[in-house]
Structure 1
């Protein structure tokens, strides 16, 4: 099961029938409300409920459990279609949304997802005509951000690129290397290392001999922490950087102060004060998918209202509009992906990651 892991649309996408011309809005929320992902689904649902309450949405929320499965996604879609919802927000798992989208396309109901990151979900828009709009970053957004942010940040530094041999690590490293070459920059050292060792003294020695002052590590938090520790033990000043894996739980070896991370912000750190107050008033912690769920629902509600006012379809409105949300203004590109760049460069201060200005 594949889980978890923004301009006008092509003509096929504009063929969705107008929906929700009445003032009342029926908002469908499709999320895993049972099984192993139920906690995340409840977070999304709480966000959507908060959006509806804080925006005085006229109408009702219809909840559907996707169970994070293909069968559950199709069953949820059929139930929401039967209940005649105007627009749907939700989905965390690829299997569930891919089985639901053909049904929503036939019914003319667009979907705004804050959770599914699989790139092909929107890449196949021209072929499928699926009415999907995604505020979650694409699966390939992290590696593109690594390349963009670090090439600019390390332009005057002697940097190395190493990876742990996994698909994840290698893709991050290779994308950075290719971007550096396009910018006429050459790393002083490129290598694949053996992960999950008690020490990385050998790798640290090779990086020092190559003259690297900075190194990107396509690997997990533990390996990056160990490499940094071993470099310090050699009196070798080495700045390390990694991807979102650095957000993982603390490793046995503490992460070094100054370690860089290309990753997503904590949503509560960029959320509007109004959204945080609405959540606090409802006694909801802004954890996990609460704020993305809230933002997705804000977009859906605003699009439904605008479409009713203009006499157009919600799908057309989502395609061409820009929407103010709890986590910033969001619009969608021709594929249905959010145009906003959420990834940032952070530096570890010994306790937490702080954005690099």
Structure 2
């Protein structure tokens, strides 16, 4: 009789555990149709693999990367009574979804939207958005902070290609340098997409610059590096995330610097990367961040349940261990640390500067 009682208790515990797991439902919002579908499939695959590994359920919905799609997806999530939503790659979709999700008190962990106002307006909107990825201004702020420190004792120049992107990068760096009592020896705007930049290199050499930040495309920076080498100018070039684009006809010179976020597959837990491989899923693009977002969602839900605090509070100011390292959100919902790092081209790959 005692054995039957114990067995019954075990069965009851398993039943309750299964019921608790069934109550945990994570929504996955991603563009699963249209031109961005290839990226949405990365989100769906990563989140699905994490859900399988962590014993929770997910509900994937196509947000179509549009406002209408985002609002429709949000309503579907509310009807399904999901606990939290992960994903969203497009500003239009998430901004249309958030009013609906806010009314249902459902937080969102976005893996791809960089729009700064999404979290900056939290006090006004009340949207519970947590950004597992860079902000729009993280790149230029990282350029400014890192190069101001690295080039403190060098003669440096700042050039840009005249685009909004290039000018914002250049101006943020120039302003940070000025705050640090540093002054570039040369500042200019260059013409992009030329076959050569001999004229620009000549002016940089005359100014005595040995380090140059160029706000522009990787192809232009590669051409600058090639021409500087031909003129024996002794210049090291640096650029932003654009340098990670597929290589063009002109290779980057050894020593070229890139300020960019890490390649997630290079820093991820090898066991998780192997799990991706076992399922024939490439751990590229948004797949690993989506995996990590589900891990964060599960841990935050557990923390909220054990502490009795709202899920939004459980997501704020706590360290979460994930496949791509420790994640912590600040009071606005942004990552507590800028993910951009400095990389150096070794002739084949960009490798972290600190490993050189």
Q: TM-score when scaled to structure 2? A: 0.92
State the distance in 2 between where 1:172 and 1:117 align: 16
Which residues in structure 2 correspond to 1:52-71 (within 5 Å)?
52-57=51-56, 60-71=57-68
State the distance in 1 between where 2:265 and 2:337 align: 17
8 Å contact 1:54–1:278 — kept in the other structure? no
1:135 shift after superposition:
1.1
Structure 2 partner of 1:334: 331
Structure 1 partner of 2:8: none
Cα distance 1:294–1:201, how it changes in 2: closer, same or farther (>3 A)?
same
Structure 2 partner of 1:51: 50
8 Å contact 1:21–1:307 — kept in the other structure? no
Q: Which moved more, 1:104-113 or 1:329-338?
A: 329-338
Structure 2 partner of 1:186: 183
Q: Deviations over 1:62-99 (max 9, x none)?
A: 11100000000000000110011111101000000000
Structure 1 partner of 2:7: none
- Which protein is richer in helix relative to its size? 2
8 Å contact 1:159–1:188 — kept in the other structure? yes
1:21 shift after superposition:
8.6
Structure 1 partner of 2:122: 125
1:321 shift after superposition:
2.2
Structure 2 partner of 1:31: 30
> Secondary structure in 2 aligned to 1:100?
helix
State the distance in 1 between where 2:248 and 2:255 align: 16
The one of 157, 165, 169 equivalent to 2:166 is 169
1:223 shift after superposition:
0.8
State the distance in 2 between where 1:273 and 1:250 align: 27
8 Å contact 2:133–2:339 — kept in the other structure? no
1:276 aligns with 2:244: no
> Secondary structure in 2 aligned to 1:149?
helix
State the distance in 1 between where 2:306 and 2:209 align: 59
State the distance in 1 between where 2:256 and 2:203 align: 19
The one of 210, 214, 236 equivalent to 2:211 is 214
Which residues in structure 2 correspond to 1:1-357 (within 5 Å)?
24-57=23-56, 60-357=57-354
1:282 shift after superposition:
2.2
Structure 1: runs of 5 or more not aligned: 1-19
State the distance in 2 between where 1:106 and 1:21 align: 24
How many residue pairs were aligned?
336
8 Å contact 1:21–1:308 — kept in the other structure? no
8 Å contact 2:317–2:331 — kept in the other structure? no
State the distance in 1 between where 2:25 and 2:37 align: 23
> Secondary structure in 1 aligned to 2:348?
coil
8 Å contact 1:34–1:67 — kept in the other structure? yes
State the distance in 2 between where 1:109 and 1:235 align: 59
> Secondary structure in 2 aligned to 1:112?
strand
RMSD: 1.4
Structure 2 partner of 1:7: none
8 Å contact 1:23–1:308 — kept in the other structure? no
> Secondary structure in 1 aligned to 2:316?
helix
Q: TM-score when scaled to structure 1? A: 0.92
